[in-house]
Amino acid sequence: MAGFQSLPGFREFYPEDFSRRQHIFRIWRQAATSYGFQEYDAPVLEPLELYTTKSGDEIETQLFSFTDKGGRDVSLRPEMTPTVCRLVGAKAGALKRPIKWFSIAEFYRYERAQKGRLRAFNQFNADIFGEAGPEAEIELIALLIQCLAGFGLTKDDFYVRLSDRDLWFFFLEALGFNDVQSRGILGAIDRYEKMGDDAFKGYVEAHGALDDEKKARVLAFLQIKSLADLEAALAPFASEKLNTRLGDWRKVLGGLGAMGLSDFVSVDLAVVRGLAYYTGFVFEAFDRKGDLRALAGGGRYNDLVKKLGYADLPAVGFAIGDVTTGLLLEQRGLAPTFVNAPDIYAVLGGEKERFAAFADIRALRAAGWRVEYPLKDVAFGKQFKTAAESGAKLALIYGGYELAKGVVKIRDLTDRSEREIPRDRVAEAVRDALGGH
Ligand code: HAM
C-alpha cells in the first residue's frame, strides 16, 4: 500500500472540490440570511444518549460511537436535530421568538457507501422553534426551495413532496391500528418506494399478519397526489379535527402559492420520513428525474425538545445535504468552474517590472480584489495562457515598454480589448472595469 488512504465514505477536498463546496455553502448561507435565520454551531462529539433515547430509528444503528478515555459513551453526530433542541431548550426562556436558526456542519453515519450516500457529509439545517402554526412550514419550505433555486435550478430540476404524519396517524387509527402498529406501518411506507411489497415484511414479523383490505386502503392513501384527492379521501370521516388539519394544508399550499412557488411543491402522501420524531407535516426534496437520493428532508417535531428534558416547544425544520446537491449541480452543468478565480492576473516583464508592480498588487489586494501573478519570471506568452486559464477577468500588463512610458496596459480577458492607463490610475481603471469596491 502506498502511504495511507482515507476511510471509506470520507471525502478529501482538494482545492477544486473545496471551492465547489464553498459555493454550495455560500448559496445556502445567503438564502438563510435573506430569510432572517441566525447561524449557530455545536459540538461534533456528543453524549451517545442524545441519539438513543428516541425509538429505534435506523440512524441509531449507524452511529460512529465509542467510549472515550473518561469512560463516557459518546458518538459523532449523525444529525443536528437533537443538538439544536438542546441548545434552544437550554435557553428557551431567554431567546427572542420566533427562533429561526441555521447551521452548516459535517455529520457522520456508518452507512453502506453508495452513490449520494457517504459516511461523512455536510448538511445545511434550518429550524424554527416556538411557532406551532403552519406559517413556520411555509417559511421553511420556501427557504428550502431557495436553497436549491439559488444555484439556478428550476422547477424542472427539483420539487418538494409534502406529506403529513398527523393525517397518516389519524387514517391508520380509523382503520383500527393502534399507535405502535401505526408506527410499524409508517416504517413500511417509508421503505415502500425502494422495496415494494417487501417493505411490509418487517411489519408482519413484528405485529402479525396484515389484513389485505387494510393494506389496499393504506396503498391507496399512499398514492394520493393532490389536495382535492386528499379532501375526498378524508370527507367520509366528517371529523372536526381533520377539517382543521385540512385548513392547515390549505394555508401551507396557499402561502407557497402566494410566493409563486406552487410549481415546486407536490402533495405526496408516500413521504413519511424515516425518523420517528416527526409529528406533523413532513417533506422531502428530490430531483425531477428521480436519479438521485433525497436532496433534503424535514418536518415538524413538536415533542422532541420536551422529550429531551426541556420546555414544551413546537419545532419544525429541514436539512439539505451537500452530496446529492453537488451531484445534481454537476448533472445540470451548474457546478461552478472558477469559484476561486482571481479578478486580476498581473503579467510581469522581468525582475524590475515585478518590483514596480508590487506596490499596485498589494494596494489592489488591500482594496479587496483577488490578484494573482507568476512567482517566477516566465515568458509573456506563457503568462497570458495562465491568465486565461485562471478565469481572471482582467490582466494588468507591466512590461518594460509600458513602464518606461509611465503606463500599465489593462486587458479585458473576456473580449481581449486592451488600453493603456497611467500608473497612478490603476485602481480607478480596475474599479471601472470590474465595478464595486
Ligand atoms: P435526513 O433525511 O436524515 O434528515 O437527512 C437530510 C439530508 O441529508 C438527506 O436528504 C441527504 O441529502 C443528506 N444525507 C443524509 N444522510 C446522508 C449520507 N449518509 N450521505 C450523504 N448525504 C446524506 C435529517 O437529518 C433531519 N435531522 C433533518 C431535520 C432538520 N429535520 C428537522 N430539522
Question: Of 45, 44, 43, nearest to 66 (Cα)?
Answer: 45
Q: Is the CB of 297 within 6 Å of ligand 1?
A: yes
Give the model's confidence band at 276: pLDDT under 50 very low, under 70 low, under 90 confident, else very high: confident
Chain Cα centroid distance, residue 268 = 21
Question: What are the cell numbers at 68?
Answer: 472515550
Cα of 119 vs centre of ligand 1, distance in Å, is: 12
pLDDT of residue 135: 98
Choose the residue to mutate in 102, 117, 121, 300 for probing ligand 1, maximizing ligand atoms within 8 Å of C-beta: 121
Helix residue spans in 196-296 (DSSP H): 201-207, 212-222, 227-234, 240-258
Give me ligand 1 centre to Cα 111, in Å.
12
**Of the residues 123, 125, 305, 324, which should be mutated to test ligand 1's pocket, given the most ligand atoms within 8 Å of the CB?**
123
- Cell output for 390: 485562471
- Beta-sheet strands, E only, within 288-352: 296-300, 315-321, 344-348
CB 65 less than 6 A from any atom of ligand 1: no
Q: Residue type for 19, please?
A: S
The number of angstroms, rounded, from the C-alpha of 371 to the middle of its chain's C-alpha atoms is 31
CB 368, CB 437: distance < 8 Å: yes
Task: Work out the average pLDDT over 230-243.
Answer: 91
Domains of the chain with CATH codes: 1-154+298-340 (3.30.930.10), 158-287 (3.30.930.10), 344-434 (3.40.50.800)
Query: What does the pLDDT read at residue 291?
Result: 87
Ligand 1 and 81: CB distance under 6 A: yes
- Measured from the CB, is residue 129 less than 6 Å from ligand 1? no
Joined together, the cell numbers standing for residue 114 give 453508495
* pLDDT beyond 80 at 338: no
Task: Tell me, using a 6 A CB cutoff, whether residue 324 lines ligand 1.
Answer: yes
List, in order, residues 6 or more apart from 328 with CB less than 8 Å away.
153, 157, 158, 287, 292, 295
Q: Is the pLDDT of residue 350 over 90?
A: yes
Distance 320 CA to ligand 1 centre (A): 6
Q: What is the largest CA-CA distance in the chain?
A: 93
Mean pLDDT over the full length of the chain: 94
317: Cβ below 6 Å to ligand 1? yes
Is the shortest distance between the CB of 390 and ligand 1 below 6 Å?
no
Query: Closest Cα to residue 345, out of 387, 377, 403, 378?
Result: 387
For residues 153 and 148, give the distance between their C-alpha atoms in angstroms, rounded to a whole number: 6
Q: Tens digits of per-residue pLDDT, 115-125? A: 899 999 999 99
Instruction: Decide: helix, strand or coil at residue 357.
Output: helix
Please report which confidence band the pLDDT of residue 1 belongs to, taking 50, 70 and 90 as the band edges. low
**What is the predicted pLDDT for the residue at 3?**
85
Separation of CA 207 and ligand 1 centre (Å):
28
Q: Please check the confidence at residue 208 and state whether its pLDDT lies above 70.
A: yes
C-beta of residue 264 within 8 angstroms of C-beta of residue 155: yes
**Alpha-carbon radius of gyration of the chain:** 28
The two counts, helices (H) then strands (E), for the chain are 17, 16
The minimum-distance atom of ligand 1 relative to the CA of 285 is 10
| 94 pLDDT higher than 70 | yes
Helical (H) or strand (E) element with 38: strand 38-39
**Cis peptide leading into residue 98 (ω within 30°):** yes
| pLDDT at position 2 over 80 | no
CA distances from 63 to 50, 51, 110, 252, 339 (A): 11, 9, 6, 35, 34
Which one-letter DSSP state was computed for residue 34?
Answer: H
Q: Answer whether residue 139 shows pLDDT above 60.
A: yes
Which pLDDT score, from 0 to 100, does residue 339 have? 64
Residue 55 pLDDT > 70, yes or no? no
Indicate if ligand 1 lies below 6 Å from the C-beta of 323. yes
Q: Is the CB of residue 66 less than 8 Å from the CB of residue 2?
A: no
Query: Cα–Cα distance between 153 and 40 in angstroms, integer?
Result: 27
